Structure 1
Amino acid sequence: MSVVVDCTMDTAMKNIVILATGGTIAGAGEQGKDIGYKSGSIKAQTLIDAIPELKNVANIFVEQVCNINSDDITSEIWISLALRIKELFENGFGDSHELVDGIVIMHGTDTMEETAFFLSLVLNVAKPVILTGSMRPATAAEPDGPANLLFAVKCAVEQSLQRPERAEGTILSNAEGSSDSPVRIAFAGKLMDSRTVQKIHANDLDAFAEIGTAQSSRPTFDISSLRSLPKVTVLYFNADADADLVRYAAERSAGLVIAGAGAGEFSQSWMNAIGDVVAKSNVPVVISTRINRGSIVPEQLLVPGTIAAYSLPPAKAAVLLRLALTITNDPAAIQKFYQRYT
Structure 2
Amino acid sequence: MASIQVLGTGGTIASRGQGTAGSVAADGAATLTAGLTGGHTVTARDILTTGSYRLTLQDLRIIAEQVQETLEQDDVDGVVVTHGTDTMEETAFLLDLVHDSPKPVVFTGAQRPADSDAPDGPHNLAEAVAAAAEDRLRGAGVVISFAGSIRTARGARKIHTTAASPFAGGVEVAHLAGNDVVVTAFPGPRRALPLPGQAFDSMSVEIITAYPGATPTLMRHAADDGAHAVVLAGTGIGNAGDGFAEAVAELTGNGVPVILSSRTPWGPVIPTYGNGGGKDLARAGAVVSRDLNPFQARILAAVLLAADPNPQTFAARFTRYS
Is the TM-score greater than 0.5? yes
Q: Aligned partners of 2:111, 2:123: CA distance in 1, in Å?
A: 12
Structure-1-length-normalised TM-score: 0.80
Match in the other structure for 2:45:
63
Q: Paired residue for 2:217, among 236, 244, 269?
A: 244
CA deviations on 1:222-265 (whole Å, 9 max, x unpaired) are 43575625221111122112421111111231110010111211
Counterpart amino acid of residue 306 in structure 1 = A
Q: State how 1:186-335 maps to structure 2 within 5 Å.
A: 186-211=145-170, 216-223=189-196, 228=201, 230-252=203-225, 253-279=227-253, 281-297=254-270, 300-303=278-281, 304-330=284-310, 333-335=313-315
Q: Aligned partners of 2:280, 2:310: CA distance in 1, in Å?
A: 18
Match in the other structure for 1:24:
12
Counterpart amino acid of residue 19 in structure 1 = L
CA gap 1:229/1:131 in 2 versus in 1, 3 angstroms: farther
Q: Which runs of 5+ in 1 are unaligned?
A: 1-12, 93-98, 165-171, 173-180
Match in the other structure for 2:177:
none
Match in the other structure for 1:9:
none
CA deviations on 1:106-162 (whole Å, 9 max, x unpaired) are 00001101111100111211101000001111111111111111110011111xx23
CA gap 1:198/1:137 in 2 versus in 1, 3 angstroms: same
For the Cα contact (< 8 Å) 1:212–1:293, is it kept in 2? no
Match in the other structure for 1:40:
25
Q: Which runs of 5+ in 2 are unaligned?
A: 173-186, 273-277
For the Cα contact (< 8 Å) 2:78–2:105, is it kept in 1? yes
For the Cα contact (< 8 Å) 1:283–1:329, is it kept in 2? no
Match in the other structure for 2:65:
83
Counterpart amino acid of residue 88 in structure 2 = M
Q: Paired residue for 2:93, among 100, 117, 125?
A: 117
CA gap 1:75/1:42 in 2 versus in 1, 3 angstroms: same
Q: Aligned partners of 1:262, 1:227: CA distance in 2, in Å?
A: 30
For the Cα contact (< 8 Å) 1:57–1:154, is it kept in 2? no
Percent identity for Structure 1 against Structure 2 = 32
For the Cα contact (< 8 Å) 1:288–1:317, is it kept in 2? yes
Q: Aligned partners of 2:312, 2:288: CA distance in 1, in Å?
A: 10
State whether structure 2 residue 119 is matched by structure 1 residue 143: yes
Match in the other structure for 1:10:
none
CA gap 1:330/1:223 in 2 versus in 1, 3 angstroms: closer
SS of aligned partner of 2:23: coil
CA deviations on 1:152-192 (whole Å, 9 max, x unpaired) are 0011111xx2367xxxxxxx3xxxxxxxx421100010010
CA gap 1:212/1:293 in 2 versus in 1, 3 angstroms: farther
Structure 1 residue 282, shift from structure 2 partner = 1.2
Counterpart amino acid of residue 230 in structure 2 = L
SS of aligned partner of 2:218: helix
For the Cα contact (< 8 Å) 1:305–1:331, is it kept in 2? no
Q: Aligned partners of 2:202, 2:137: CA distance in 1, in Å?
A: 31
Q: Aligned partners of 1:138, 1:333: CA distance in 2, in Å?
A: 47
Q: Aligned partners of 2:71, 2:194: CA distance in 1, in Å?
A: 18
Match in the other structure for 2:182:
none
Structure 1 residue 319, shift from structure 2 partner = 0.5
Tell me the number of residue pairs that the alignment of Structure 1 and Structure 2 aligns.
Answer: 300
Structure 1 residue 38, shift from structure 2 partner = 2.3
Structure 1 residue 211, shift from structure 2 partner = 4.3
More strand by share: 2
SS of aligned partner of 2:306: coil
Q: Aligned partners of 2:188, 2:231: CA distance in 1, in Å?
A: 22
The CA RMSD measured in Å over matched residues stands at 2.4
Counterpart amino acid of residue 302 in structure 2 = R
